[in-house]
Amino acid sequence: MLKGFKQFILRGNVIELSVAVVMGAAFGAVIAAFVRDLLTPVIAAIFGKPNFENLKATVNNSTFLYGDFLNALISFLLIAIAVYFFVVAPMNHLVQRMRRGEPAPDPTTRKCPECLSDIPIAARRCSFCTSVSASAAGD
């Protein structure tokens, strides 16, 4: 039983996932500090509020800390922007460049002439309208 657990833990994707989680948490802390310590004061200098964290509203003796929510929202947007522009977009570009010289894969389906649904190339009848396929008529 312990041998199976050891194999599970030492598989590459489990270790990579754990490293990604730790790096993501660290990156999130850096972005949160950036928003709290650098971006919020710049926005506050423009709009006149010294700190978003202290913004709150009171309704029927209930306090809503919407300033803290604004900081979290700005942090989320910055993380999403960073992940997209520094991870997703470059990876999409790299995959596109790698596939540039490859021929297009052979099609596995074709359109039924009667109902225009997708049917497998080797099919003799359409599974939707049951019409006889044009290629099957020549067989």
Residues 120, 67 share a domain: no
| Residue 91, H or E segment | helix 89-98
pTM exceeding the 0.85 threshold for the entire prediction: no
Residues 123, 70 share a domain: no
Tell me the pLDDT tens digit for each residue of 32-80: 788 778 877 787 788 776 667 778 888 999 988 888 888 788 878 888 8
AA identity, residue 102: E
Contacts of 43 (CB under 8 A, 6+ apart): 49, 52
Measured at the CA of 60, the angle between CA 56 and CA 63, to 5 degrees, comes to 25
The two tokens of residue 118 are: 């997708």
Tell me the pLDDT tens digit for each residue of 82-115: 888 888 899 889 888 888 888 878 888 888 888 8
Q: What range does the domain containing 39 cover?
A: 2-98
The two tokens of residue 20 are: 């990604």
What is the total count of domains within the chain?
2
Residues 60, 84 share a domain: yes
Residues 88, 44 share a domain: yes
Residues 59, 112 share a domain: no
